[in-house]
Structure 1
Amino acid sequence: MHTKPAKPIIIQLTEYENKLFQLDEIAYSARIELYEKYKTQVDIEFISYKREEHWKLKAKEWVGYIPVTPELHLKINPKVPIQNLFGMLEYAYNLKGFRFLEGLMDCESLENFYNNLAHILADKVLERCRKGLYRTYLPKTQQLSYVRGRLDVQQLIQKPWNVKLKCDYEEHTPDVKENQILAWTLYIIGRSSLCSERVSPTIRKAYHALQGLVTLQPCSAHDCIARQYNRLNPDYQLLHSLCRFFLENSSPSHERGNYKTLPFLVDMAHLYELFVAEWLNKNTPQTYFLKQQYPIEISQNRHFIIDILLCDAATGKTIAVLDTKYKASESTVNTDIHQMISYANTTKCNQAFLIYPKDLTQPLDIKSDQIRVRSLTFSLDDNLDRAGQTFLKNLFLLIPQNSH
């Protein structure tokens, strides 16, 4: 008789929080795993305090779930109120406005949110399978015993003894990138440690519905962005937005031996950047437009990417450069100030803003030649839309009218 594996010990942290553990609470294998593979997400340090020896763990700017070893899992909770975390995800992944998300706002944890969103994706994939998967024509070349499409006459003349005919034709197939993204995402979700007993069967069912029709190909979150949709597949836009959320926050590279469970980790700094950009995109007055993730080439081998450019809709002129900084400190560091001056110089504007989730103890307001660099707050502590309107009002109060 097979015995059920013992449930892992779950250590809970909050982002940017320090926590002490007795030496025997964290096994050697888990310490090595944390140090070697998760140093970006968690600091682990041996300390001796008042003749007692401990391990100190400090979560960085990531939240989520790390199955460190089969025996030990790490859960990192957000400092942001859980409802606001969901609100950020809605904006960042263009899910805002879909009615099915309303019920998710009552989730008490990131695991619940993950499970419910995974269930929605699997349900919608099954629904699409019942209607029929999106298909398109792909060019194909094959040796056939009958003529299909265009016959390669040149080969027939050169090799008349070959009974197989080389044909070029187009095949109407569902084995296209649009469906491969769905299959890969369901595969990744199925290997996570977060799927509950209620959700796992639906994930498996949806994945098996695609098997045999769609090749399992590794896909990235980038594959889900800026895809072309038509009257035959408008519902895929939502499916791919959901897939992007899972693929961007799952790390298939973190594997150890035969232990194949994948972590689910949200980079809060990246999420804050996406959220602020998407919120502004939807709420900025029409007299302006935004350029997001704007690349600037300094030289042949050097370039940088600006988070947000605020531009005048009438002239196309850049009015201000904006950069998000998720971890609010007492004051702005000099490297950030120099970076913003460089951004402003390059884009030929004189207004630059660093955006923080909390008010700085020492707000920034400096001028270098003609360029003015200031700090602003887009708070995550209260209602997000209300915080956004306050941020927008303060931003436009600080931008001189003659800069347009």
Structure 2
Amino acid sequence: MTGIPIRNLYYLLGYAWDLLEEAETWQVELENLPTGLDLLTRLILRGTQRLLRRGIDHGYMAQADVLTTIRGRIDFTASARRMLMERAKVQCDFEEFLPDLLHNRILKSTLRNLQAYPEVAQRQRSEVHVLLRRMEGITPLKIRSTHFGSVRLHRNNAHYALLMHLCRLVNANLLVCEETGKTTFKNFMREKGQMAKLFQSFVYNFYRKETQFVVSQEVPIDWDSQEPNPLLPSMKADLILKRKDRTIVVECKFYEEALQTHYLGTSPKLHSTHLYQLSTYLQHLQPGLDGTPPEGLLIYPATGIQFSTDLVLAGKRIRACTLDLMEPWNLIAEQMHRFLVQGHSYPHIGYS
């Protein structure tokens, strides 16, 4: 799924992270960006420039130092052990208002990694160099994935959220070979796991923000069993959309091929395992408050093939369709809304 236009990738990420409004205030120029890394780098640059104009986040941090005047609390044990008082000094523990916070350290370290990567355009690396000179007092660190889980954002520094998402995505794919020291960027648009998660989050936030449905994500579904059994596997739907008159179970399938062909010369078919899975969810999901049976929706991202077809399996209506990510963004939004319109399908396969 590497053919997604950069502008569409920008919107997909913005919706997936629920930060599209924030990204649009950065006024990022999306032209002349050949790769996903170019997009991420430009977003980080613009976001950091905006952050520095606003004022970088500071916080009170514990410090310990040997001083000639008392500041904060005297550490008598350390002072006595080091015989500081004989030299008219004491060791003090105090707090200082500093920018050396974890989210600032992650941002600075990500910028340093981008500056060192030769595939980043020279102009952008020059911009990184200027920004790094303005980030004094922040200690770089070797970023690990666990660092992002330790970042604590609140109302006063929530504007860091988009930058942290961007830094996480860059550092998950910017790999350094320990033997040669050579840095490579793994194209995250080729990584099925990463893109599947982003695509599901995009669909979730799009329907949550752009429709009247109440949308839930990663929803457990109970087996319609008379007795509980610990050997029964868990069932969890990607999304469930609810309103008074409809319940729609949505499964987002990030597959390179939306249809499969078992034998040479045979016509392509829907993935049977996806239909089995969604049918099982619908069979065990209770009807809505008005007794309306739940519906199913299978969404496949595609960069060429198009189809939308309605099925009725065991009395449950299922729609399987592709979202053409090569279209202009306004047409992609129209497709997303059209998937929810009952009776609107085109069963024949088409190619754009």
Where on the TM-score scale, by shorter chain, does this alignment land: which range?
Answer: 0.5 to 0.7
Given candidates 307, 310, 315, the residue that maps to 2:241 is 310
Q: Which moved more, 1:114-123 or 1:144-153?
A: 144-153
Structure 2 equivalent of residue 207 of structure 1: 132
State the distance in 2 between where 1:135 and 1:172 align: 6
User: For residues 295 and 147 of structure 2, what CA distance do their matches in structure 1 show?
Assistant: 31
Q: 1:214 to 1:272 in 2, by over 3 A?
A: same
2:38 aligns with 115
CA distance in 2: counterparts of 1:323 and 1:241, whole angstroms: 24
Alignment of 1:1-400 (within 5 A): 61=1, 63=2, 78=3, 80-93=4-17, 94-95=19-20, 98=24, 100-101=26-27, 103-104=29-30, 106-107=31-32, 109-110=34-35, 114-115=37-38, 117-126=40-49, 128-129=51-52, 132-138=55-61, 140=62, 142=64, 144=66, 147-150=70-73, 163=83, 169-210=94-135, 212-220=137-145, 223=148, 228-231=153-156, 233=157, 235-248=159-172, 250-252=173-175, 255=177, 257-267=179-189, 268-285=195-212, 288-294=213-219, 306-312=237-243, 319-327=247-255, 328-329=258-259, 330-344=268-282, 348=286, 350-357=294-301, 363=309, 365-368=311-314, 371-397=316-342
Alignment check: 8 A CA contact 1:318 1:347 kept: no
Query: Are residues 347 and 266 of structure 1, via their aligned partners in 2, closer, same or farther at CA, if it must alter by over 3 Å?
Result: farther
For 1:353, give the aligned amino acid.
L
Offset at 1:283? 0.8
What is the identity, as a one-letter code, of the residue corresponding to 2:164? H
Mark the CA change 1:346 to 1:137 in structure 2 (over 3 Å): closer, same or farther.
farther
Q: How many residues align?
A: 307
TM-score, length basis structure 2: 0.68
How far apart are residue 319 of structure 1 and its match?
Answer: 2.1
Structure 1 residues 250-291: Cα deviation after superposition (integer angstroms, max 9, x where no partner) = 242x62621422214123444433332332232112xx2222
Match of 2:227 in 1: none
Once residues 367 and 201 of structure 1 are traced to their aligned partners in structure 2, the CA distance between those partners, rounded to angstroms, is: 59
Deviation at 1:194, TM superposition (A): 2.6
Q: Matched residues in 1 for 2:139 and 2:25: separation?
A: 29
Matches of 1:347 and 1:167 in 2, distance apart?
63
Inter-CA distance 143–195: structure 2 relative to 1 (3 Å threshold): closer
Is the 2:15–2:202 contact (alpha carbons within 8 Å) kept by the matching residues of 1? yes
Distance 1:123 1:333, change over 3 A: closer
Work out the percentage of aligned pairs sharing the same amino acid. 23
C-alpha distance in 1, partners of 2:270/2:138? Answer: 53
Cα distance, 1:398 vs structure 2: 6.3
TM-score normalised over the length of structure 1: 0.60
Structure 2 SS opposite 1:332? coil
Q: Alignment RMSD, CA only?
A: 4.2
Contact persistence 1:357–1:378 (CA under 8 A): yes
Q: Deviations over 1:359-404 (max 9, x none)?
A: 6769462424x654431333324233333334324424269xxxxx
Q: Within 2, Cα distance between the matches of 1:82 and 1:121?
A: 15
8 Å CA contact 2:308, 2:321 repeated in 1: no
Q: CA deviation at 1:135?
A: 0.7
Name the amino acid aligned to 1:391. M
1:173-222 CA-to-partner distances (Å, cap 9, x unmatched) read 21112212212321332243431121112113323433542342415499
SS at match of 1:309: strand
Q: Relative to 1, partners in 2 of residues 1:119 and 1:173: Cα closer, same or farther, differing over 3 Å?
A: same
Q: Deviations over 1:128-187 (max 9, x none)?
A: 44664211123x37475565434568x59xx96664667654332211122122123213
Q: Is residue 318–residue 348 contact of structure 1 (8 Å, CA) maintained in 2?
A: no
The answer on whether the counterparts of 2:33 and 2:39 sit within 8 Å (CA) in structure 1 is no
The one-letter code sitting in structure 2 at the alignment partner of 1:272 is F
Give the letter aligned to residue 277 of structure 1: Y
Q: SS in structure 1 opposite 2:134?
A: helix
Where structure 2 has 5 or more consecutive residues not aligned to the other structure, the ranges are 85-89, 190-194, 224-229, 260-267, 288-293, 345-352
Q: Secondary structure at the match of 1:365?
A: strand
Aligned to 2:265: none
CA gap 1:326/1:213 in 2 versus in 1, 3 angstroms: closer
Q: Kindly tell me: are residues 347 and 178 of structure 1, through their superposed partners in 2, closer, same or farther at Cα, counting changes over 3 Å?
A: farther
Change (3 A) 1:208 1:395: same
For CA contacts below 8 A with separation 6 or more, give which structure has more relative contact order.
2
| 1:372 to 1:108, Cα distance in 2 relative to 1, 3 A | same
Q: Report if the CA contact (8 A) 2:111-2:128 is conserved.
A: yes
